[in-house]
Amino acid sequence: MEQNKIHLSFLRSLYLITSLLFFFPKLTFSQTAGKYLVVFKDKNNSPYSTDKPLAFLSQRSVARRERQKIAFTSKDLPVNPAYLQAVKNTGAKVIYTSRWMNAALIQCSSTVLSSVLSLSSVKGLAVNMALDNPATRSGRKASKFETLATNSLDYGLATTQNKMIGVDKMHDEGFRGEGMLIAILDAGFRNANTITALKPIFDENRIVGTYDFVENNQSVYDDDSHGTNVLSCIGAYSPAGMIGTAYKASFLLLRSEDSSSEYLIEEANWLFAVEYADSVGVDLINSSLGYTEFDNATMNHTYADMNGKTTIAAKAAAWAASVGIICVISAGNDGNGSWRYISTPADADSVLTVGAVDAQNTYAIFSSIGPSSDGRVKPDVVAMGQSVAVVSPNGNVITSQGTSFSSPILCGMVAGFWQANPTLTAIQVIERIRKSGHQYNQPDERLGYGIPDFVRANTNEVVLAVEDENNSLFSVYPNPSSSDITIQIKDSRLSNYFSSLMDITGKTLMYQEVNTATFKMSLANLAVGTYFLRIGNDAKSTLMKVLKVN
């Protein structure tokens, strides 16, 4: 398979992934041997050129950028091979490189590190301490994800999580993820290649590649099962059990997380995995991982760090967004803990951060809250994350909970939406998904813009609804409302006008001709959701979004 040949060539040249210069001036220097992220000063005299991106990116990656009119820059160029050779000559081992950070992950003793730092091409350390210090480990711990699984499910329980965001309608229209490539960054995909519910993915050769950035090999099916659960939310197809939200998509399975511990190196692994996903040409990334506090407390982040600009992971997510990849990120499961807030890379700008609700569309108490520390709306949207259907590593459909699963459930819908709207850019897709949220006009720190919906996102009326922000023709109050709304005409020149209330498909539900400055309309008999009120006459009219709540 030609595509697999491309991916293998990238794996063989994994040392040539690199870019962008900066420091993370945090933490104190350690004399203990370990892994270090070394940043280089420049990309001078590089054998690579932005005019020849196919030398370091796949055709699919290049096509994604060209489709969205995203230019290639020096950030995309690999690390200068001469700089890497100089590092190797000191006795250090080069494990991975980063195009975007212009850095290399190396392993060496503190003595050799001094030699590396003295090289004229080296700017310094990205983090002034060993990212992963073996001497500080206290032995393997239980998986961070082991407490998520609960009871067995009856047939069809995955219906609720799919219908909540309009996936059933998306599938009815024929959009099931065909042609979309999704990278999943996780802790492992135990037995995913042997599970009946995931068998169609493998039978149809829709796993385009795998890589384990923790162990530096291609095996991902013998580690943690969390990624298997996540993959099933998108890709499972078992009519007698559960069906994922984009079950015809293709997947790149990447392990970046060591579930038995929490060290800053996992953020570096996340960076390397995202860059690899970019080089392969993925359309979307789902990551149900987040970082706040570490086993070595001196590495801990603070809430102030959750500004989308500070952490390695947040920078990597923002860079991925800048090259036209949609990143769908779990908000985190600390809503009822001492931390409470979103984790990183959920704080990144231009990504879809996903919180969790239950089957009744109510905030799930564990879902991490926003905003980001610099005041941006987070989470962006929410999906079902409590008592959701997932496939376990023994092949059974079970229930589980966490934003770990609300994220992939939504990711599959976003993939289908982009499949249905291929001319949109990644940023435009994200904005359409946000605007389809049921509380877009009144976002909050728990649900963000609310529960998105495929039909609303796929309806042009959603875009027109922004007219209500500066509506000079009329006002509506209260909005949202559970019963009656009052409409007041603000333009005195408007007389003998009409009012038309429509649902998200454009179907007219109420129509009347009016000649008074103020009148009422009842929403009591309407279902909870989003509607559109148009008022005007033959000369002019304006549309406003109206929200019906309980």
On whether residue 257 sits in a domain, the answer given is yes
Q: How much is the pLDDT for 143?
A: 55
Confidence of residue 471 (pLDDT cuts 50, 70, 90): low
Q: How much is the pLDDT for 11?
A: 42
Clarify whether residues 268 and 377 are in a common domain.
Answer: yes
Confidence of residue 472 (pLDDT cuts 50, 70, 90): low
Q: 177 lies in which domain range?
A: 158-458
Nearest to 177 by CA among 235, 111, 257: 235
Beta strand 34-40 with 122-125: parallel, antiparallel or unpaired? Answer: antiparallel
- Among candidate residues 226, 392, 407, 499, the one labeled active-site is 226
Clarify whether residues 190 and 261 are in a common domain.
Answer: yes
* 226 labelled catalytic: yes
Q: Is the pLDDT of residue 512 over 90?
A: no
Confidence of residue 328 (pLDDT cuts 50, 70, 90): very high
Q: Is the pLDDT of residue 297 over 70?
A: yes
Residue range 89-117: average pLDDT?
95
On whether residue 141 sits in a domain, the answer given is no
Eight-class DSSP state of 80 = P
Confidence of residue 466 (pLDDT cuts 50, 70, 90): very low
Clarify whether residues 77 and 178 are in a common domain.
Answer: no
Kindly tell me the sign of the dihedral angle through the C-alpha atoms of 279, 220, 257, 108: negative
Clarify whether residues 483 and 450 are in a common domain.
Answer: no
Q: Is the pLDDT of residue 320 over 50?
A: yes
Q: How many CB atoms lie within 10 A of CB 158?
A: 27
Facing residues of 534 across strands? 500, 543
Clarify whether residues 127 and 194 are in a common domain.
Answer: no
Clarify whether residues 449 and 490 are in a common domain.
Answer: no
Nearest to 105 by CA among 92, 96, 117: 96
Domain boundary among 440, 458, 476: 458
- Among candidate residues 186, 283, 468, 503, the one labeled active-site is 186
Higher-confidence residue of 504 and 233: namely: 233
On whether residue 440 sits in a domain, the answer given is yes
On whether residue 330 sits in a domain, the answer given is yes
Query: In what order do the strands lie in the sheet containing 474-477?
Result: 474-477, 484-489, 518-522
Q: Is the pLDDT of residue 434 over 80?
A: yes
Domain CATH number, residue 507: 2.60.40.3080
Confidence of residue 129 (pLDDT cuts 50, 70, 90): low
Domain boundary among 424, 458, 492: 458
Confidence of residue 146 (pLDDT cuts 50, 70, 90): very low
Clarify whether residues 291 and 174 are in a common domain.
Answer: yes
- Among candidate residues 238, 373, 404, 499, the one labeled active-site is 404
Clarify whether residues 22 and 122 are in a common domain.
Answer: yes
Q: How much is the pLDDT for 544?
A: 80
Confidence of residue 131 (pLDDT cuts 50, 70, 90): confident
Clarify whether residues 491 and 378 are in a common domain.
Answer: no
Domain boundary among 441, 458, 475: 458
Q: Is the pLDDT of residue 81 over 80?
A: yes
Nearest to 211 by CA among 253, 261, 249: 253
Mean pLDDT, the chain, rounded, equals 86
Residue range 24-33: average pLDDT?
40
Clarify whether residues 415 and 269 are in a common domain.
Answer: yes
Question: Do the beta carbons of residue 452 and residue 434 sit within 8 Å?
Answer: yes
Q: Is the pLDDT of residue 155 over 50?
A: no
Q: How much is the pLDDT for 7?
A: 44
Tokens for 205? 């050769």
Range of weakest confidence among 178-192, 413-427, 497-511, 522-536: 497-511
* 186 labelled catalytic: yes
On whether residue 152 sits in a domain, the answer given is no
Clarify whether residues 187 and 62 are in a common domain.
Answer: no
On whether residue 144 sits in a domain, the answer given is no
Give the count of domains, the chain. Answer: 3
Q: How much is the pLDDT for 21?
A: 28
3-state SS assignment for residue 81? helix
The enclosing H or E element of 487 equals strand 484-489
Clarify whether residues 430 and 528 are in a common domain.
Answer: no
Higher-confidence residue of 493 and 278: namely: 278
On whether residue 150 sits in a domain, the answer given is no
Domain CATH number, residue 167: 3.40.50.200
CA distance 352 to 437: 12
Eight-class DSSP state of 503 = -
